[in-house]
């Protein structure tokens, strides 16, 4: 598919009620203002209320420079050595800031250079004309970036063993994130800034709640406040069992929580934790979905359970396809069948089912 054909596909408006755009529906859902249907982002077939810069990159609209290398290993823009994988995420091999005494010598990539954002001016204008809700992707990813730069174990002990350098690194990455956010805002009207930071494992948080509150929360609040100042919602993707983080996220001002593993917490528990305070934008649980025994009937029942607490309500739920189905070996029937089920249980208008 050509780049222009891909863009046309992504920009094609889905069915909406008369007088309303996709952007209106998403904003109503986030505001708990009784949207006429659940907003959604489907990738197979492509049909979405959202225009996501991340989806453009995942679908190959922009060249991934590292993917053009002939070597199986390469240095990325952060001076992290990686090994090429068959999926979207390449394996991390080296960590240039394991020892934070080297921090002053480290050269950060210029992710906020204005020339990186010139391409978005026309893209955002076209998305706005199509009535889409525009989501700009965080290129820094604070927690994930520290894990790549330091390595997992070094990151975990840094608050005790390298506190000063750890805080300096956090502050520098936060400053860079806000500078990138501002560049997006200068390029056009953007509805949301979305980050991917996985603080959860399957049984609980990766770092203690005390460490999160002391080191990460203040920096994330700075980013959230910057997004709100520029008229953007803040969307946070976070995997794992993060029920203890949800009250923190609400207090911090997170507008939308995007979960790929909602079953870890439970659909009813999520609805209760977030009701009226923070919108959910959830996939069907990716671990549950990868079962070799999965059936269309079970998938239908799962989506009925996901949406049960929100049907006929004031909003607070949006549906999402997992955007890299090949990475988790989803069966071919999964996305078309889940789309039908989401439409059946609240994402459709009129006879759209």
Q: pLDDT tens-digit profile of 290-329?
A: 888 999 999 999 999 999 988 877 899 999 999 988 888 8
Domain that holds residue 165: 3-347
Q: What is the pLDDT of residue 266?
A: 96
Q: What is the CATH number of the domain that holds 341?
A: 3.20.20.210
Token reading at 78: 């952060």
Res. 14: pLDDT tops 50: yes
Token reading at 85: 């994988």
Q: What is the pLDDT of residue 141?
A: 98
Q: Is residue 352 part of a domain?
A: no
Res. 63: pLDDT tops 80: no
Q: What is the pLDDT of residue 255?
A: 99
Q: Is residue 353 part of a domain?
A: no
For the chain, what is the mean pLDDT? 94
Q: Is residue 30 part of a domain?
A: yes
Q: Is residue 146 part of a domain?
A: yes
Q: Is residue 184 part of a domain?
A: yes
Token reading at 338: 């889940």
- For 169-199, b/e burial (b = at least 16 CB within 10 A) is bbeebbbbbbebbbbbbebbebbbbbbbbbb
Q: Pick the closest to residue 321 from 280, 265, 281 (CA basis).
A: 281
Distance CA 195, CA 216 (A): 14
Helix 142-150 vs helix 152-161: crossing angle, to nearest 10: 100
Q: What are the C-alpha distances in Å from 239 to residues 8, 60, 146, 293? A: 31, 24, 17, 23
**What one-character-per-residue DSSP string does 302-329 give?**
HHHHHHTTTTTSS--EEEE--S-GGGGT
Q: Which DSSP category does 212 fall into?
A: I
Q: What is the pLDDT of residue 208?
A: 97
Q: Is 262 exposed, middle or buried (0-12, 13-18, 19+ CB in 10 A)?
A: buried
Number of domain units in the chain: 1
Q: Is residue 132 part of a domain?
A: yes
Q: pLDDT tens-digit profile of 150-181?
A: 999 999 999 999 999 999 999 999 999 999 99
Q: Is residue 147 part of a domain?
A: yes
Q: Is residue 121 part of a domain?
A: yes
3-state secondary structure of 149: helix
């Amino acid at each position: 598919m050509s780049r222009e054909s891909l863009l046309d596909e992504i920009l094609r408006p889905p069915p909406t009620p008369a007088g309303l755009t996709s952007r209106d529906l998403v904003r109503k859902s986030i505001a708990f203002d009784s949207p006429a249907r659940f907003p959604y982002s489907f990738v197979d077939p492509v049909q979405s209320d959202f225009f996501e810069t991340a989806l453009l990159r995942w679908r190959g609209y922009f060249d991934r420079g590292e993917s053009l290398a002939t070597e199986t290993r390469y240095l990325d823009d952060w001076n992290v050595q990686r090994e090429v994988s068959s999926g979207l995420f390449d394996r991390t091999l080296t960590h240039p800031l394991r020892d934070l005494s080297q921090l002053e010598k480290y050269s950060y990539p210029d992710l906020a250079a204005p020339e990186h954002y010139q391409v978005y001016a026309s893209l955002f204008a076209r998305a706005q004309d199509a009535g889409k809700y525009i989501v700009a992707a965080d290129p820094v990813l604070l927690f994930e970036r520290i894990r790549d730069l330091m390595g997992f174990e070094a990151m975990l002990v840094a608050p005790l063993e390298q506190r000063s350098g750890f805080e300096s690194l956090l502050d520098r990455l936060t400053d860079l994130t806000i500078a990138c956010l501002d560049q997006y805002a200068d390029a056009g009207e953007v509805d949301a800034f979305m980050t991917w930071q996985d603080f959860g494992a399957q049984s609980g948080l990766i770092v203690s709640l005390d460490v999160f509150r002391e080191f990460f929360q203040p920096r994330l609040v700075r980013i959230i406040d910057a997004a709100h100042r520029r008229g953007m919602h803040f969307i946070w993707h976070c995997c794992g069992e993060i029920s203890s983080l949800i009250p923190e996220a609400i207090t911090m001002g997170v507008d939308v929580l995007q979960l790929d593993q909602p079953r870890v917490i439970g659909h009813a528990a999520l609805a209760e934790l977030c009701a009226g305070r923070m919108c959910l934008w959830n996939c069907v649980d990716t671990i549950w979905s990868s079962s070799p025994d999965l059936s269309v009937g079970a998938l239908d029942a799962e989506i009925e359970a996901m949406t049960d607490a929100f049907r006929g309500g004031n909003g607070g739920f949006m549906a999402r396809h997992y955007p890299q189905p090949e990475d988790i070996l989803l069966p071919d029937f999964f996305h078309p069948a889940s789309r039908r089920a989401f439409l059946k249980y609240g994402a459709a208008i009129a006879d759209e089912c």
